[in-house]
Structure 1
Amino acid sequence: MECIVDTNILVYETVEDSLYHREVVERLEDITKIWIPVNILVEFALVLKKLGLDENFVCNKIKELLRKGKIELINVRKSDFEKAIEIISNEKLSILRLNDKLILSSASRMRIPLYTYDKHLKSEATKFGVSII
């Protein structure tokens, strides 16, 4: 099985005393290919820094992710941005929802399930025909 992961999955996997740490670690072990959009990897680094984690730790964690053979990065395409902006405009949403819409656009284009604990994003994924794991 393969999936695209949201930022919260990376955070829960990293922060050992987080609510879903054990569950996320176990589920990720069963996934054969993990796709991470580049914008999600950037957001992950910023969230870890905001949580007060040391910059060396953050850099080492990203290096660790990049070395894992089953992790692939997704470059967000122009069409993903166009679709995300169109959704934001049509639904009159804040531009702060851009990352969520980009991950949905990528998952939809690639026809790969999304792994997230974000209830709003799960609901949105269902509307756009993106599977959730």
Structure 2
Amino acid sequence: MTAGWCSRTVRAAVFAAVCVLLAALGHVMMSGSRVPAWVLAAGLTVSGAAGWCLAGRERGLPLIVTVVVAAQTGWLAAPLRLLLLLAPPIVPDRLRVRVRRPQSDHAPRLLLLVHAITSRGPPAGTAVI
């Protein structure tokens, strides 16, 4: 199914406007500086042209899912790769030796008390304030 040029243009314009406005809003919120008008115009032109080219016919679900997964993988994997590339290697200064504390003689009785309270409830006749 192909779309007419009018609906194709309207869809591309709305797509471009939403993309550019969301990107500009995110930039302003995170950096605190305004986005120049020429950058907004260039982004509107590029995303509008891409939207117009892609709005020519109806796409199937397998193609849409494949493109979205590929795009999200690229967007999410790039910062991780950069982080791993720039992070210095972690090398321990010295070997850590853990010293185990000796077990107390009261520990088995305490566990038995915890088991008795949680499985049967508190002993009868105790006052709860």
* TM-score bucket (shorter structure): under 0.3
Question: Between Structure 1 and Structure 2, which shows a larger proportion of helix residues?
Answer: 2
Structure with the bigger percentage of strand: 1
TM-score between both structures, scaled by the size of structure 2: 0.26
TM-score, structure 1 as length reference: 0.25
